[in-house]
Amino acid sequence: MSAVATAAGQELLATKDLSAYYGEREAVGNVSLSFPRKAVTAVIGPSGCGKTTLLRCLNRIHEVAFEARVKGRVLLDGEDIYGGDVDPMAIRRRIGMVFQRPNPFPTLSILDNALACAGKGLNRRQKMECAERALHAAALWDEVKDKLRTSPLRLSGGQQQRLCIARAVAAEPEVLLMDEPTASLDPIATAVIEELMARLTDEFTIVAVTHNMQQAARVSDYSAFMLADEHGVGRLIEVDETGKLFTKPSDPRTEDYITGRFG
């Protein structure tokens, strides 16, 4: 397909012929896509083309939905995460996720949210350090350091979203999936999170869904364009280095989309 797919050894995560279903409805069809290590790959495309569904297949959270099924393979470091003896919980610890709408745990304090899946077997001081590191990584520490024991529901939407990022980061995953992480945020909070994504690639491989093409252009190294076919099945149209996809797309449908002719 392109330089991305053939850059052997570069990819940490890859889908092979992946199809996803809700009951009989095929939402994503035959997607083969690789996500290079320590880079941001953006998934773009019009509403309903299956971006969220694709992302949810990558950490096996798709199967939590009612009658949701997956066909094909998803390889993490060469190993199929849908293999028979693979524990989905272990996969989800290696592949963290940030959802489209901030979803902090309402009954836990800010601190306990950050530590929700980290800090097992650590003493108090180590836990504090772990939380502080995660909150720093999510660029939230300065805003919450004086109210760590209060409810996350009193934070703004952008702060809640960064708390969710901190929560995911604290679990020390290898891959971070982000589903339109700035969809509900104002430009300032968006800028903070975009900056954050650039910084997080030092440690993580990031897959980010976005509606916003400027954002994809700003934050991602690679971009994948998806489109629903005439049956409403989401297909991968093309994937390339972001600069190339946005300037010289090889498929006319990609060009139509990025020049705003539809979608």
Partner 1 sequence: MTVAALRYGRLKRRRAYGWLGIALALFCAVLAAGALLAILGYVVVQGVAAINWDFLTQLPHPIGVPGGGVANGIVGTFIIIATAMAIAVPIGLLTGIYLALFGRGPIPEALRFLSDVLSGVPSIAIGLFAYAVLVAPLKHFSAFSASFAFAMLMLPLLVRTSEQAIRSVPQTVREGALALGMSNFRATVGIVLPTARPAIITALLLAIARVTGETAPLLFTAFGSQYWELNPNNPMAVLALQVFNYAISPYPNWQAQAWAGAFLLVAAVFVLSVGARLMLSRAMRGLES
Ligand X SMILES: Nc1ncnc2c1ncn2[C@@H]1O[C@H](COP(=O)(O)OP(=O)(O)OP(=O)(O)O)[C@@H](O)[C@H]1O
C-beta of 77: minimal distance to partner 1 in Å? 17
Which residues on adjacent β-strands are paired with residue 68? 22
Altogether, the residues listed in the chain come to a count of 263
Count the site residues for ligand X by CB under 6 A.
14
Q: Does 82 bind ligand X (CB under 6 A)?
A: no
Could you list the residues that contact partner 1 (CB under 8 A)? 59, 61, 64, 66, 89-93, 96-97, 99, 101, 103-108, 116-117, 153, 160, 164, 167-168, 171
> Under the phi-then-psi rule, with left for phi > 0, alpha for psi from -120 to 50, and beta for the rest, what region is 182?
alpha
Whether the CB-CB separation of 18 and 31 falls below 8 Å is answered with: yes
Whether the CB-CB separation of 132 and 110 falls below 8 Å is answered with: no
Q: Does 52 bind Mg ion (CB under 5 A)?
A: yes
Q: Which of residues 50-69 bind ligand X (CB under 6 A)?
A: 50-53, 65
Closer CB to partner 1, 205 or 223, in the complex: 205
Whether the CB-CB separation of 64 and 97 falls below 8 Å is answered with: no
C-beta of 60: minimal distance to partner 1 in Å? 9
Closer CB to partner 1, 171 or 198, in the complex: 171
Q: DSSP secondary structure string, 96-153? A: EEE-SS----TTS-HHHHHTTTS-TT--HHHHHHHHHHHHHHTT-HHHHTT-TTS-GG
Closer CB to ligand X, 26 or 166, in the complex: 26
Q: Does 223 bind ligand X (CB under 6 A)?
A: no
Rounded Cα distance, 194 and 191, in Å: 5
C-beta of 203: minimal distance to Mg ion in Å? 25
Contacting residues toward ligand X, per CB under 6 A: 22, 25, 27, 47-53, 65, 211, 232, 234
